[in-house]
Structure 1
């Protein structure tokens, strides 16, 4: 409703009386509000203010947009489109004939989740430029600018982001993006909890799981994600990251901060994914035709088979196999 007030004429009075900063008054009304104001003869007191509570189910201030291909998706999934049924009563560029059903319409003063944004056709992303920079965007019809005050949360895989970033034609988008890197989990204890949670939400919840199975899988996953340290064992680094103190066990072990400083900012951005690990765990449970159960011995066997099937580069495959045969298997045997 603050868009109704002219910041030049009413800004000082509203700030003095209600404590609302002048910067909150955008001075931009939605096309719908402009039409209502004309109908009310410019009388702002005839507007009613409705209190809305954000709702994910009803898509009130919380919306989600997914990418499609160029044949079945256009900018209307973001900015809305004309409601054909209302053209019987209104002209095509009338605000009352417009269906405010796009992601930006729904997420105004809220949050818009854009799933796998960089998979979407580049033309579909254009409304995001003005929505983020100028706090408004244009619909599919000549209605006038539609205001947008909200947060756009997009997520993507690392490879797709790097491809998008490398394209010089996307500089306008890149300047408006604030990147937050989300690496894989690097703590064995927390990774084990993730697998346990996934098991509880699956059909394998009641399957027998031998002690140490989830921990072994978590250790393998974390080892694949860590950057090697030239003066320290990778297994020791994994234990230090998990909160253990190894001064009496491994004299070469470093502090967690030293490990992180040496590894750099990209540690945890590659390696075995949690999805791959859970897929291996599911195969392990179903390895025996007579029983739905998992144990460390079967896990190591299934893990080796899965690594070979993935056809990783030779050096990486050798490193993964070495984790199993040189680190995990001997320690389990002990």
Structure 2
């Protein structure tokens, strides 16, 4: 067992003091100019820095049909182990990053509010949170470094603790007078290539730094070179918790909220000291717009804001300026991101007084996920282990809940003969006869509002959690427990008031239950037919007969040694399992023999798993042969003899080993499938 000294030594060996010194660097204005000359990107705008941050994590090019799409790894949340990863919104995220790229290049979008629009629970807040965390991390790296300025004390210029740092984190180059900026830019950009980043000085000092600058300029009789000797520059680390470069604003009770929360307020205690409420030293530049300068500000449910706040927002977006009380228009450099839901956005569209805001927003739709695999990933973030709170989550439990959620979001297909479930499978990558990538794209194009309506992932997460605590006696949670919770919760769902919609969602639960029945029947069938020796023997007999049939020969009986006709009944009993009609049997048999010949030419050996269609047919045939010997339906009557119980236990072990069941869920699913077969047997009688 380690002692305290060992633990301290462990931390000591891993700390990086050089990195700490770089993050806490303080230097002169002259040294900062050297930094700019060596790395001009330290002067990037907020949009440029945010765009570069996203790209720094890497970009993959993904081909979908004939189109090439960009996949930004940043949204997988690699810094946090995927905790805030965003799944299934590739198109929306690409649209967002394209807007940031346009803003970074100064094409006009930098003068707009980026409005994330979508239904509740569609990851709008998660995306904003990711961007804020990403900026924080990026500013702490060498590539993401940025700097701000401060003023030394007139009493003790060497006292670093007495430096008055800029309250709005200004870019130090704002100290260069307007009339000299073009010459300074030319000097700093000398030797740069066509595609190299170039320094461009835009913006003015905030009221506090402007006041201090003018005071020092008077003190030094207009000598700018003396003024900048009083300037210190430090590395700036963006942090939402420390309110440095990252701001968040959300609506509250109108009586308890005013515009000073955005633009700062007078410090009445300092008025007596400085003699005026218009002295910037008697003002707190701590509004969300002030502290978010050089970074990002998030407006939560932005369209719920009072009109007075929206005026400040309009000026901040279009003019890149804010109006603190008692002061002139003040330049800001920050990314403005808001998010809102569908009802609030419709209200904006119907309000003629909000035309100015509509004109100054770039709407980016953030819909619900409509691809099953991605929806499953959302829930697996919380339930990524098969055992949660001591309970085992049976296979397909999360999958069925996700399937229902997706079905509620899909529009009824206009294509004749296509069900909503089949549409879900097409979107999820399954191939169906007669449907190409172009057809699937057409399906998406026809469904304009797909993903903007339906059930929120939060509702599903809540009901999975309910199922985990609602069955204290159960060791395993199965799909029916969760589906029942989903159905029961519809009665009191706060966002669904339409009874027709509730009934539609209940009917979709029935669709999911039928799909689950099909899935588990197949799994149990495969578990029963998972006798490898029996499958190999069955396959061998089939191939021997097919070979003899195609070559018009006879088959040697292994027991009698006599040559006999190929076993037509055996071949057809297998082929019928995969719907090979009598008229197509010759084609299928030749296809199998050609497949075996091709494998041999490549030096490969054929076995029963080589051909997927034949493998499935063999499993179904073996299941049919063995289900009666196992007497699965006897489980329903609870009368099981020792020999049958032994065979059932073998099937259970296969379900546990191959499909992820535990003892309880394997027993449950066998009982359920047994009841299905019992119903089938009674119908046949």
Q: TM-score, structure 2 length as denominator?
A: 0.45
> Distance between the aligned counterparts of 2:186 and 2:440, measured in 1?
52
Aligned to 1:286: 469
CA distance in 2 between partners of 1:133 and 1:2 (Å): 23
Give the Cα–Cα distance (whole angstroms) in 1 for the partners of residues 476 and 352 of structure 2.
52
Alignment-derived partner of residue 89 in structure 1:
273
Match of 2:297 in 1: 112
What is the RMSD computed on CA atoms of the aligned residues? 2.3
Residues 1:155 and 2:339 are matched in the alignment:
yes
Q: 1:126 aligns with which of 282, 307, 311?
A: 311
Residue of structure 2 in register with 1:40 after alignment: 216
The answer on 1:263 being equivalent to 2:440 is: no
Please state whether the residue corresponding to 2:322 is helix, strand or coil.
Answer: strand
CA shift for structure 1 position 164: 2.1
CA distance in 1 between partners of 2:474 and 2:283 (Å): 58
Structure 2 gaps, min length 5: 1-171, 190-196, 519-685
Contact 1:53 1:60 in 2 (8 A): yes
CA deviations on 1:151-205 (whole Å, 9 max, x unpaired) are 111111111121123211111111111111100011111111111213469x955
Alignment partner, residue 233 of structure 1: 419
Change (3 A) 1:296 1:21: closer
Summarize the Cα distance change of 1:144–1:213 in structure 2 as closer, same or farther, 3 Å threshold.
Answer: same
Distance 1:204 1:166 in 2: 47
In the TM superposition, what is the alpha-carbon distance from 1:83 to its structure 2 partner? 2.1
Deviates more, 1:254-263 or 1:90-99: 254-263
Q: CA deviation at 1:289?
A: 3.9
Which one of 313, 329, 332 corresponds to residue 513 of structure 2?
329
> Partner of 2:297: helix, strand, or coil?
strand
Match of 1:244 among 430, 448, 451: 430
Q: Distance in 2 between matches of 1:178 and 1:112?
A: 16
2:315–2:321 contact (8 Å) kept in structure 1: yes
Gaps (5+ residues) in structure 1? none
Task: Show the counterpart of 2:376.
Answer: 192
Partner of residue 182 from structure 2, selected from 5, 9, 12: 12
**1:12–1:22 CA contact under 8 A, matched in 2:** no
> How far apart in 2 are the matches of 1:72 and 1:199?
40
Q: Encode CA deviations 1:232-261: one digit per residue, 9 max, x unaligned.
A: 2111111111122223xxx46874312212
Shift of 1:292: 6.8
| Correspondence for 2:457 | 274
The SS at the match of 1:14 is helix
Distance 1:200 1:123 in 2: 45
**CA distances 1:64-114 after superposition (whole Å, capped 9, x unpaired):** 112111111111111111223322312211111111111100111110011
Deviations 1:105-141 (A, max 9, x none): 011111001111122222122211211111111112x
* Aligned mates of 1:31, 1:67 — CA distance in 2: 27
Tell me, in whole angstroms, the C-alpha distance in 2 between the residues paired with 1:134 and 1:292: 61
Number of the residue aligned with 2:488: 305
Within the candidate set 181, 195, 202, 1:25 is matched to 202
**TM-superposition CA deviations, 1:27-82 (whole Å, max 9, x none):** x3211122112211242523333321222222211111121111111111111112
Q: Which of 505, 510, 514 pairs up with 1:320? A: 505
Whole-Å Cα distance in 2 between the matches of residues 147 and 101 of structure 1? 15
Measure the CA separation in 1 of the matches of 2:463 and 2:210.
58
Structure 2: distance between partners of 1:186 and 1:215: 13
Looking at structure 1, the residues matched to 476 and 261 of structure 2 have their Cα atoms a distance apart, in angstroms, of 45
Once residues 174 and 64 of structure 1 are traced to their aligned partners in structure 2, the CA distance between those partners, rounded to angstroms, is 21
Q: 1:107 to 1:205 in 2, by over 3 A?
A: farther
Cα gap change, 1:81 to 1:291, in 2 (>3 Å): farther
2:365 aligns to what SS in structure 1? coil
Does residue 393 of structure 2 align to residue 222 of structure 1? no
State the partner residue of 1:65.
Answer: 249
1:138 aligned to 2:314? no
Question: How far apart, CA to CA, are the structure 2 residues paired with 1:312 and 1:72?
Answer: 32
CA contact (8 A) 1:199 1:205 kept: no
Number of residue pairs aligned between Structure 1 and Structure 2: 325
Q: Tell me, what secondary structure is at the counterpart of 2:421?
A: helix
More helix by share: 2
TM-score under structure 1 length normalisation: 0.90
Deviation of residue 207 (structure 1)? Answer: 2.9
In our comparison, the structure showing a higher alpha carbon Rg is 2
The SS at the match of 2:364 is coil
